[in-house]
């Protein structure tokens, strides 16, 4: 069963880390503070919507 929910401000560290890994994959420099700032603004003004799914073990 999938456990999906909307992202909230307390998810910011995980979202920032995910975005930072995306940047690194595309050969950009790591910048977690910038990623955190971006997601913090987006979560507050709700222009983007994020859904998180909890990984379940079988």
Whether the Cβ atoms of residue 50 and residue 6 lie closer than 8 Å to each other: yes
At 23, list the tokens.
């940047």
Q: What is the 8-class DSSP label of residue 50?
A: -
Print burial letters for 31-54: b (CB count within 10 Å at least 16), e (below 16): eeeebbeebeeebeeeeeeeeeee
In total, the chain counts a number of residues equal to 58
Quick: pLDDT tens for 6-55: 788 888 898 899 889 998 999 999 999 998 998 888 878 777 667 767 76
Residue 58 pLDDT class (50, 70, 90 cuts): low
Q: What is the pLDDT of residue 2?
A: 65
């Amino acid at each position: 069963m999938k456990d999906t929910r909307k992202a909230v401000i307390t998810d910011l560290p995980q979202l920032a880390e995910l975005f930072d890994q995306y940047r690194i994959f595309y050969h950009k420099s790591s910048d977690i503070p910038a990623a955190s700032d971006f997601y913090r603004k987006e979560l507050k003004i709700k222009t983007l919507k994020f859904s998180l799914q909890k990984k379940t073990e079988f």
